[in-house]
Structure 1
Amino acid sequence: MSRKLAAYLLAAATAIAVVIPMSTSASAASCVAGWSSGTVYTGGQTASHNGRNWAAKWWTQGETPGSSDVWADRGACDGGGTTPPPGNTCNAPNWVAGQFYRAGAIVKYTDGRYYIAEHDNPGYDPVISTWYWNPHTCGGTNPPQPGGFVVSESQFNQMFPSRNPFYTYAGLTAALSSYPGFANTGSDTIKRQEAAAFLANAYHETGGLVHIVEQNQNNYPHYCDPGQPYGCPAGQAAYYGRGPIQLSWNFNYKAAGDALGLPLLTNPWLVQQDPAVAWRTALWYWNTQRGPGTMTPHDAMINSRGFGETIRSINGSIECNGGNPAQVQSRVTRYQQFTSILGVSPGGNLYC
């Protein structure tokens, strides 16, 4: 967060379950494609296991049919035939053993399912090398992850291929509990657009989740407002920018700490030491602060005001209304890339 933005401030989950009714027919049907522990199944998709057909009620991976209520028993099957494996149409090439693949590459495996490379690899088998590959659903309907977040870990890695290891996916998902309405309000499209908007702005603020702290150390002593009744107990130069939205100034650390139940005023270093805390401070700003704008970034997205309004709330005093069109374009371009990864349209009102 820029110092000029801070001056303006001073002045101013759950995925929906698809219920599949249990079969009432006693007759044996043909077995569908066999269940695979490494495959992602969404509500309504089927698999056979131990001589019975099963239907997934909601998103699942690695849960054996019959051992969890995520699967509905569709009755005995006789193995007389199979149906094509579940999944949407992808325009992806067939996987080739021994061919080099970059992270983010999508391939069609020999079983007809699709996989996305999480890491560069020299053609490892997607079913065997699960660290290098993740199951992938094409066509813009990637299932929400456990806990309700609409961005999978593989998509997160695709968005931030050069990120600092400090910015973990686990830290982000752990932080979601502080603001359960984030990326979990409205339609599935709105949820994905909000997640893309938040992550696109975080990308811009941190150079792709590379920088944990503000790089210009000459600014550090300027983020203490001694006029506040609580002063700057951690030291005058302690409240520099940190985290995905670069939280700065003593009054912002005080407000974020109070909201999150964390001692950030006296220990601002927590934001650069704990990934979940860093993400929580970014979500605090996103969901509760409007900056130089007229609404919070969260409200802008769930009320279909557009990505441009999130820019206005984060750094609109410097970038919007022609202030710095190149910076605005940088944010918009990243947002468009992230919505593409999540399989949704970016919507309108992209600029501010």
Structure 2
Amino acid sequence: MSRQRLIAFLTALAVAVGLAVLVPLSSTASAADCAAAWNASSVYTGGQSASYNGHNWTAKWWTEGETPGAADVWADSGACGSGGGSGGTTGGSGCSYPSWVAGRSYVTGDVVTYTNGLLYIATHDNPGYDPTISTWYWSPYTCSGSGGGTGGTNPSGGFVVSEAQFDQMFPSRNSFYTYSGLTAALSAYPAFATTGSDTVKKQEAAAFLANVSHETGGLVYVTEIDKSGNYCAAEPYGCPAGTYSYYGRGPMQLSWNFNYKAAGDSLGVDLLDNPGLVETDPAISWKTGLWYWNTQTGPGTMTPHNAMVNGAGFGETIRSINGSIECNGGNPAEVQDRVNKYESYAAILGVSPGGNLSC
């Protein structure tokens, strides 16, 4: 009996005895269509869908900026497309990523395989720019073999603050303080805004940006207004750049020769002899702010980074920056200004500011 007649006979027999008929699936069946690409600056409410890395994802509840697959707020609705959509997958896991397609929209964190066989990660949202030409939008990516990898500006695949949110926080900022300068600086301190839950990551980013906003008048001032003070303490290495050269610069207004020496040593840049780099190089400037935030306790008992990731609260970041000058009744108006900015930025990022806001 031929194969076709055998299938027909068995099907008829199954129908006769009331059994369910199993029809072989077509080998050409395709995955579901991809939903609109996930966007870090868009708000999604429960039930709304977005595509990311070759899968459709459904929001369980309100979310903004939380990456599908990395946050519990998203439910995986399965593979989509056939390499289509933003970040559509060709292999689903491991080191298999979709081929880059010119003109297709990508969001921060998307990983693609370029025509040269190398991987690239989107460091900024873009409408399909060439990864080997538009290096501000793409960075080389090294796969670990389990869907992870290194590359881009941040080990988590992108900063928790989008450029649109950054612009909303600092509408009148000095053009020196670029978003690209900030994201380029993140690799120097990979634990910043990547530690803990998605909420903690956003709280830390909001706390850092609130403090630098206070220090710089909303990222308006690159250097402090009054430069007449003596910022050269007696140290073995002296003040090679000049007695009055170590005034406040950058997002955390780095001051004094010993801080320039320590920050430069940490970053591998000679800031003792070249303090002006903090006011001329955006990435170095941002790195000095992150240096203080992640490594210095100042007049406090912990680094601002540890204060945020270990639950001590925003108030302890103020203490680590200005201590009794503002805290313990020193200057409640200044403290409140920092708190107001933090609450505002946390709202932009869609998270609660948490407790212990004041010092």
Which of 330, 346, 349 matches 1:323? 330
* Counterpart for residue 333 of structure 1: 340
1:71 aligns with 2:88: yes
Q: Which runs of 5+ in 1 are unaligned?
A: 1-23, 48-53, 75-126, 128-143
- C-alpha displacement of 1:316: 1.6
Cα distance between partner residues in 1 of 2:36 and 2:251: 39
Cα distance between partner residues in 2 of 1:39 and 1:303: 26
**Any idea what SS the aligned residue of 1:223 has?**
coil
With normalisation by structure 2, the TM-score equals 0.63
- C-alpha displacement of 1:146: 7.9
Which of 167, 181, 184 matches 1:157? 167
What does 1:1-352 correspond to in 2, within 5 Å? 32=33, 45-46=50-51, 55-56=55-56, 66=83, 70-72=87-89, 147-219=157-229, 222-225=230-233, 227-352=234-359
With normalisation by structure 1, the TM-score equals 0.64
Q: Answer yes or no: is the 8 Å Cα contact 1:56–1:72 preserved in 2.
A: no
**Any idea what SS the aligned residue of 2:283 has?**
helix
**What letter corresponds to residue 242 of structure 1 in structure 2?**
R
- C-alpha displacement of 1:320: 0.3
- Residues 30/331 of structure 1: CA separation in 2 closer, same or farther (3 Å cut): same
- C-alpha displacement of 1:319: 0.3
**Any idea what SS the aligned residue of 1:218 has?**
coil
Identity %: 61
Q: Which has the higher contact order (CA 8 A, sep 6+)?
A: 1
**Any idea what SS the aligned residue of 2:55 has?**
strand
- C-alpha displacement of 1:148: 2.4
- Residues 162/146 of structure 1: CA separation in 2 closer, same or farther (3 Å cut): farther
**Alignment RMSD, CA only?**
3.4
Q: Answer yes or no: is the 8 Å Cα contact 1:65–1:71 preserved in 2.
A: yes
- Residues 207/39 of structure 1: CA separation in 2 closer, same or farther (3 Å cut): closer
Cα distance between partner residues in 2 of 1:33 and 1:181: 33
- C-alpha displacement of 1:317: 2.0
Cα distance between partner residues in 1 of 2:198 and 2:215: 26
Cα distance between partner residues in 2 of 1:310 and 1:36: 36
Cα distance between partner residues in 1 of 2:354 and 2:316: 12
**What letter corresponds to residue 183 of structure 1 in structure 2?**
A
The total of aligned residue pairs comes to 249
**Any idea what SS the aligned residue of 2:284 has?**
helix
